[in-house]
Structure 1
Amino acid sequence: MRILIIEDNETLATALSHRLKDNGHAVNMTHDGETGLAFLKQEDFDLAILDINLPLRDGLDLLCQARRDNVTTPVLILTARDTTQERIIGLDTGADDYLVKPFEMDELDARVRALLRRQRNNNQHEQIGKLVFDRRGHSVSFEGKDLGLPRREISIFECLFDRSGRFVSKANLLDYVYGIGADVNESVIEVYVSRLRKRLTIYGVEIKVARGLGYLMQVTE
């Protein structure tokens, strides 16, 4: 899953990012409200973790504007504001859940799992050809047997799966797997895609490559 962290405390944001990546998620971070809103409007995320006290644009104002702009990404608010009224305001503004600082990482994990489960409840197990993609379990299987894809390849599979019928550029794949602005050479995507293509071909699923367009995953006819 792809998660956006909008948190001005860079130490906390980095800790959250490491935790979520360890749990198999792709993570993007930003530290101000204006950039956070731009990311939400322009990119596809499965979840956003949002602080309220942000520079440039307040978190609640960001959330309100995002909902007005028809952004449906689930949002988990992180804040030190712990009164009942403030929680009600956050939820009424469009948040899906509310976590008060300080908190335990285990509780964060549980709330993230619950929000992602709620979002994907009707389609946790999806199919392309004869392969079954389990989002919750971060796995791809054939006739009940897990293919054992490494984490990076699972992220690439998920990105291509969610953009079925469309080419995905190398740059977009890099952003999805490592996060926007990551200091990683695009050549690593070529390596991961090459490995993934070899694994999927025998199951009737191919990754098509087109110069200048990127990659497209489809069922072999």
Structure 2
Amino acid sequence: MHVLVVEDQPKMQDLLRQGLQEAGFAVDSADDGPAALDRALGGAYDAVVLDVMLPGVDGFEVLRRLREEAVWTPVLMLTARDGVPDRVRGLDAGADDYLVKPFALSELISRVRAVIRRRSAPPAALRCGPLELDPTARTVAVAGTRVELSPREFAVLWLLLQRQGAVVTRADILDQVWNAAPDVGSNVVEVYVRYLRDKIDRRFGVELIHTVRGAGYRLAPPP
């Protein structure tokens, strides 16, 4: 089995590499976000051990981009932060498991084996009424008619579909889709939701994307 270890601290990277190799894994490594993306997009790995705090591009963004490119390799995220919001953010981004530092090497190896064992097929299409989104083929259709979306529009719609029926805040969309980039204006979420409504709700005469005043947006099927 072939594992990619992404860790910017040399001592920790060496420890993980040695432990996984002794457990029978072939191991490649990367020490920053761009290198991790390059390796994970170009190589066939059975699992990725991904640290959150990385130079260049952090682990959350690495994971988001991998899933955006339909790379479904199991990912075990590592972090020094044990707050619930960080764990939720990682799992929402597509992580298969989450391990907080410090940890026992034996536990990490056990968890890597576990995420590989339960590796699933690419996620099934998501549906809401006549709307269907296929994350593997990266296609969207309403009542069988194809809808062309930009990558950002697709990402916003995917997030709303994943949390169908629940309120998704503007801050959460900004964080998940734009990674809270400092150069992104505060109204960008409203702009992209309007784009989606033009292409889906208004074009097909349906009402799927609902504004929850003072809170955010909710995707729900027609009554």
Rate the CA distance shift 1:217–1:6 in 2: closer, same or farther, 3 A: farther
Partner residue of 2:81 out of 32, 35, 40: 35
Map of 1:156 onto structure 2:
156
**What is the CA–CA distance in structure 1 between the aligned matches of 2:209 and 2:106, rounded to whole Å?**
37
Residue 115 of structure 2 corresponds to: 96
Q: How many residues align?
A: 164
What residue identity is the alignment partner of 2:109? G
Q: Which runs of 4+ in 1 moved over 6 A?
A: none
- CA positional deviation for 1:191: 0.9
When normalised by structure 2's length, the TM-score is 0.57
Write the distance in 1 (CA, Å) between the matches of 2:129 and 2:68.
24
Gaps of 5+ in 1: 65-88, 99-113
Correspondence for 2:191: 191
Q: 1:61, 1:186 → 2: CA distance? A: 42
TM-score normalised according to structure 1 size: 0.58
Deviation of 1:94 (Å): 5.5
Contact 2:125 2:132 in 1 (8 A): yes
Name the Cα RMSD after superposition: 3.9
Distance 1:32 1:220, change over 3 A: closer
Q: Aligned AA for 1:46?
A: G
Whole-Å Cα distance in 1 between the matches of residues 32 and 94 of structure 2? 20
Structure 2 vs 1, CA of residues 47 and 118 (structure 1 numbering), >3 Å: closer, same or farther? Answer: farther
5+ residue gaps, structure 2: 10-29, 42-61, 71-76
2:95 aligned residue: 47
Q: C-alpha distance in 2, partners of 1:7/1:144?
A: 44
Q: State the match for 2:125 in structure 1.
A: 125
Shift of 1:134: 0.5
C-alpha separation between the residues in 2 aligned to 1:32 and 1:190? 33
Distance 2:86 2:6 in 1: 10
